[in-house]
Amino acid sequence: MTKTILVTGGAGYVGSHACKALAAAGYTPVSFDNLSNGHDWAVKWGPLVVGDVLNPGDLDAAFAAHKPDAVMHFAALIEVGESVKYPEKFQLTNVTGSLNVLQAMGRAKVGRIVFSSTCAVHGDVGGALISETSPIAPISPYAKTKAEVEGVLADFSVSDGLKAVALRYFNASGADPDGEIGEAHDPESHLIPIACQAALGQREGMFIYGDDYDTPDGTCLRDYIHVTDLAMAHVKALERLDAAAPGVEAFCLGGGVGASVREVLDCVKKISGVDFPVTMQSRRLGDAPSLVADPRKAKTVLRWTPSHSDLQTIVKTAWAWHQKH
Ligand code: UFG
């Protein structure tokens, strides 16, 4: 019998790619999304339940109707800058919303969850590679909510026997290589989509936020990881939970290689063939100089092998998607 997975935030960027990977692996993904940031067109591999994690009744109805075997929990607010301005919104959606999901799982006797976390729970490690054992020291309200939920998962593993995996993403990027889905945030704040929009003439140009960092070319280094590779890690994490004992296990999902803002923009210019204007700006509040993963644990324990995460493939798939979308 096909296993059903309830995917909160399944109409969003990473969630929709996870649904595609789940379907390819033989699961039925049921997307649970309030469509505030997600898109109904991104739900293609299973049913869509329009509901809100802040409404326990919506969650109970989804569990009753679809009887999922496990949950993948993506539904959250994600914009770091917005979290600094409106921390209460982030506490509510990300922390209370996650508690609601866990309590609904308890009522429905569902004991396995893969949680969408972030490398930002580790804060600024001063340029060292970030692994699961790096200190938890979130800086932004957004990252604090993700760290808090990881703690709640650990508590529920003791109280309720919950089995959980927390996947700490580095910079999710790129688009489905088949062009079926891709990144579509509104407003957009991420580097690669903004560069693609600039190349398409949808904005007059763009800014680099700071070239005075202590990095090889002075701009920030990030570990860009293809969203299809992230999606595959979720399927592997789910399969690991089948045989796991109660507890919460974390994995850092990055490629282990940093690319600078300048390198990314050069790559977008080369692939698009458009030399869009780029203006230097002062540093953006909250940006760490360098965030690069040590992904050895995910590679050995989950047997996860990123295969789309070289910068060329990330930018090519993002560019193809933005041209169409
Ligand atoms: N950048 C620019 N110009 C832009 C947009 C971004 O120079 O127009 C720079 C940023 O300053 C940063 C880099 O490009 O140095 C990457 O910025 P993104 O906004 O694309 O991504 P972030 O690294 O800020 O954020 C991502 C996720 C967050 C997560 C964070 C962890 O989007 O959810 O990684 O650091 F919390």
Task: Tell me what the mean pLDDT of segment 308-320 comes to.
Answer: 98
Q: Indicate if 27 belongs to the active site.
A: no
Q: Across the chain, what does the average pLDDT equal? A: 97
Q: Which residues pair with 5 in a beta bridge?
A: 29, 70
Tokens of 145: 């909510």
Ligand 1 center from residue 78 Cα (angstroms): 11
At 206-258, the pLDDT tens digits run: 999 999 999 999 999 999 999 999 999 999 999 999 989 999 999 999 999 99
Ligand 1 center from residue 174 Cα (angstroms): 14
Ligand 1 center from residue 209 Cα (angstroms): 10
- The pLDDT confidence band at residue 81, using thresholds 50, 70 and 90, is confident
Architecture of domain 191-223+256-292+306-324: Alpha-Beta Complex (3.90)
If you search the block for the tokens 């790559």, which residue do you land on? 267
The continuous run of DSSP H or E covering 50 comes out as strand 48-50
Q: Ligand 1: residues whose CB is within 6 Å?
A: 78, 80, 118-120, 143, 171, 189-191, 194, 206-209, 220, 222, 261, 284, 287, 291
Q: Could you tell me which CATH number the domain at 4-173+224-253 has?
A: 3.40.50.720
Could you tell me the residue ranges of all domains in the chain? 4-173+224-253, 191-223+256-292+306-324
Tokens of 302: 């989950």
- DSSP sequence for 102-165: HHHHHHHT--EEEEEEEGGGG---TTSPB-TTS-----SHHHHHHHHHHHHHHHHHHHS--EEE
CA 254 from chain centre, in angstroms, equals 11
At 29-42, the pLDDT tens digits run: 999 999 999 999 99
Atom nearest to 209 CA in ligand 1 = 7
Task: Tell me what the mean pLDDT of segment 119-145 comes to.
Answer: 95
At 40-50, the pLDDT tens digits run: 999 999 999 99
At 260-298, the pLDDT tens digits run: 999 999 999 999 999 999 999 999 987 889 999 999 999
At 175-191, the pLDDT tens digits run: 999 999 999 988 899 99
Selection from 9, 23, 3 nearest residue 178 by Cα: 23
Cβ partners under 8 Å of residue 20, min gap 6: 44, 45, 176, 180, 181, 231
Who wins on pLDDT, 186 or 22? 22
Residue 1, pLDDT > 80, answer no
- DSSP sequence for 189-248: --HHHHHHHHHTTSSS-EEEE-S-SSSTTSSPEE-EEEHHHHHHHHHHHHHHHHTPPSEE
